[in-house]
């Protein structure tokens, strides 16, 4: 069934329709490239926001929760087609914004190690999706994202880690759950998997599941590659403080098991 995705939140600047093939590919592979979803006004505004946010970041290549203090990011997270993309691909009637994150890889920046995202986030019991928007042209040698197709279906919660400046895994989180699986050396296992990797143009989006194993290549080009990642959750997702590996996104006002609805994780879409 073709889904029309427009609601009162969609300003119609970038209307988006998801085709049945798109949906089935997303469910099977866990990641999909959507071409030319967002137009020039967004890209221009979000580049300014990304540069400003990164100039205040103490991390070498990313900054989180930008939307809370940046008008263009707030507009994108709440009122663009991004929540509708999330709702359609998760097939969810309610969508919450979890947080947003800007990334920049400059020339020579290292690879992002393989990982899956949900183990880092203080949420459980539902699906999550990232809408990852390219703000620059990203060629194969400029640090594109890579995904292990179908790993979203493994339901493996790989042990989270921090990353040092040279891109190496600095510390593995021990956790209180005892539920994290040791992280295989996916780099040496490359030949055993179907790896998805796409070149992107500004305005292209990769939408990917919170459980898919992914990373990014080193930036071997002279160009900077900026990306804007917005993380959304779907029906049934609840707060889970044991998952507070990423301390920047924990919500001190929520208790375990509560729905996420809050100022920090606002509901961005409800389909009646």
- Which of 81, 112, 233, 264 binds ligand AKG (CB under 6 A)? It is 112
Give the residue with the Cβ less far from ligand AKG, 10 or 209. Answer: 209
The CB-of-6 to ligand AKG minimum distance in angstroms stands at 27
- Which of 183, 229, 230, 268 binds ligand AKG (CB under 6 A)? It is 229
The CB-of-270 to ligand AKG minimum distance in angstroms stands at 26
- Which of 114, 132, 161, 265 binds ligand AKG (CB under 6 A)? It is 132
- Which of 76, 103, 121, 265 binds ligand AKG (CB under 6 A)? It is 103
Residue 216 touches ligand AKG, criterion: CB under 6 A? yes
Residue 130 touches ligand AKG, criterion: CB under 6 A? yes
Give the residue with the Cβ less far from ligand AKG, 10 or 26. Answer: 26
* The two three-digit tokens of residue 2, written as one number: 């073709």
Residue 224 touches ligand AKG, criterion: CB under 6 A? no
Residue 76 touches ligand AKG, criterion: CB under 6 A? no
Residue 227 touches ligand AKG, criterion: CB under 6 A? yes
Q: How far is CA 167 from CA 63, 92, 96, 124, in A?
A: 16, 35, 31, 28
Residue 158 touches ligand AKG, criterion: CB under 6 A? no
The CB-of-255 to ligand AKG minimum distance in angstroms stands at 27
Q: Cα–Cα distance between 265 and 267 in angstroms, integer?
A: 7
Burial 53-63 (b: 16+ CB within 10 A, else e): bbeeeeeebbb
* 22: number of Cβ within 10 Å: 18
The CB-of-189 to ligand AKG minimum distance in angstroms stands at 18
CA neighbours within 13 Å on the CB side: how many for 173? 24
CB within 8 Å of 140: residues ≥ 6 apart = 197, 199, 217
Residue 152 touches ligand AKG, criterion: CB under 6 A? no
Q: How far is CA 243 from CA 58, 150, 178, 262, in A?
A: 23, 23, 11, 18
Give the residue with the Cβ less far from ligand AKG, 120 or 259. Answer: 120
The CB-of-129 to ligand AKG minimum distance in angstroms stands at 11
Q: What are the percentages of helix, strand and coil residues in the chain, rounded to 5? A: 20, 30, 50
Burial, 36: exposed, middle or buried (Cβ in 10 Å; 0-12, 13-18, 19+)? exposed
Give the residue with the Cβ less far from ligand AKG, 142 or 260. Answer: 142
Give the residue with the Cβ less far from ligand AKG, 10 or 103. Answer: 103
Whether 92 contacts 86, CB under 8 Å: yes
DSSP 8-state assignment for residue 180 = P
The CB-of-115 to ligand AKG minimum distance in angstroms stands at 7
Interacting residue ranges for ligand AKG, rule: CB under 6 A: 103, 112, 117, 130, 132, 214, 216, 227, 229
């Amino acid at each position: 069934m073709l889904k029309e995705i427009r609601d009162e939140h969609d300003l119609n600047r970038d209307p988006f329709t998801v085709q049945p093939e798109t949906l089935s590919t997303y469910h099977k592979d866990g990641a999909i490239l959507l071409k030319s979803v967002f137009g020039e006004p967004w890209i221009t505004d979000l580049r300014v926001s990304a540069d400003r946010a990164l100039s205040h970041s103490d991390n070498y290549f990313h900054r989180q929760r930008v939307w809370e203090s940046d008008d263009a990011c707030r507009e994108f997270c709440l009122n663009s087609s991004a929540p509708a993309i999330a709702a359609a691909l998760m097939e969810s009637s309610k969508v919450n914004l979890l947080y947003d994150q800007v990334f920049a890889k400059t020339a020579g920046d290292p690879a992002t190690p393989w990982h899956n995202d949900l183990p880092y986030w203080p949420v459980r019991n539902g699906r999550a999706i990232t809408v990852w928007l390219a703000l620059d042209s990203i060629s194969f040698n400029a640090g594109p994202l890579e995904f292990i197709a179908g790993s979203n279906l493994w339901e493996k919660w790989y042990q989270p880690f921090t990353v040092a400046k040279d891109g190496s895994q600095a510390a593995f989180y021990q956790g209180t759950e005892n539920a994290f699986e040791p992280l295989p050396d996916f780099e040496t296992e490359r030949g055993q998997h179907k790896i998805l990797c796409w070149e992107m143009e500004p305005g292209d989006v990769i939408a990917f599941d919170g459980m898919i194993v992914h990373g990014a290549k080193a930036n071997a080009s002279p160009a900077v590659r900026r990306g804007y990642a917005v993380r959304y959750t779907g029906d049934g997702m609840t707060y889970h403080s044991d998952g507070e590996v990423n301390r920047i996104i924990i919500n001190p006002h929520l208790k375990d098991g509560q729905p996420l609805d809050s100022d920090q994780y606002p509901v961005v879409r409800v389909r009646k």
